[in-house]
Amino acid sequence: MFRRVILIATLVIALSAFEGPTASADSSNETFGFLAGTGFLCALPGPTPCPDVARADNGDTIQITGSGTLTTNPKTASGTGTFVHKRGSATVASGTWKANDLLSFQDAGSSPVFPANLHAGSALIAVHLVVTGGPAAGLQADGVLRVTCELPGAIVPGNRDEGVRLVVDDLINFNKEVSGFTVFIKL
């Protein structure tokens, strides 16, 4: 119980510092901030809240951090972050990602346990990746980043797990969430 009170207090304080665009007066147009393995999430209790980690079928992992905003009508996404692709303990590639477009977003609503502006849900975001470190430095690729947030009492459609997944076009599919926290913040 004490940890839950500390968690809620930490979230309220951190959210008061989160700045982002405001939503339009059009009720069909909602704007959300998103965090993946970064920001105040890293201070939350848990074994590995940051970065978010996903695994490919071959055992490779990718560590993702980043933040941005998405708007539901018209569907748009912006944001940036970093990634580290690992094979075992060796770094295969590292670099940056940038959100290009919102492909879909399912808002699963808020949780009675957390502030009302924190939402569970799942977003598919078209991203552009630029490798800045490792043997593949200079390589660029497009992909789809899935960000999923689960909150107690909020049901995410499709039984999705908390975390991220990343499909890099014609290269690799990190299709299993391993660890990390994410959140959508209704603005």
Which pair of tokens denotes residue 162? Answer: 């908390």
Distance CA 36, CA 165 (A): 11
Distance CA 119, CA 176 (A): 22
Full-model pTM: 0.84
- What average pLDDT does range 65-69 have in this prediction? 98
pLDDT tens sequence across 6-39: 333 334 334 333 433 333 333 479 999 999 999 9
Compute CA distances 185 → 59, 76, 182, whole Å.
32, 16, 10
Q: Is the pLDDT of residue 172 over 90?
A: yes
Query: Quick one: which of 52, 29, 20 has its CA closest to 163?
Result: 52
Torsion over CA: 116, 120, 126, 132 (sign): positive
Which pair of tokens denotes residue 157? Answer: 């459609």
pLDDT tens sequence across 119-166: 999 999 999 999 999 888 999 999 999 999 999 888 777 767 899 999
- What average pLDDT does range 77-98 have in this prediction? 96
Distance CA 23, CA 6 (A): 29
Report yes or no: 129 and 168 within 8 Å, Cβ to Cβ: yes
Give the single-character DSSP code of 155: P
Span of 22-26, 167-171, 177-181 with lowest mean pLDDT: 22-26
From the CA atom positions of the chain, what is the Rg in Å?
Answer: 16
- What average pLDDT does range 34-49 have in this prediction? 94
Domain boundaries, given as residue ranges, for the chain: 2-186
Query: Quick one: which of 91, 119, 92 has its CA closest to 34?
Result: 119
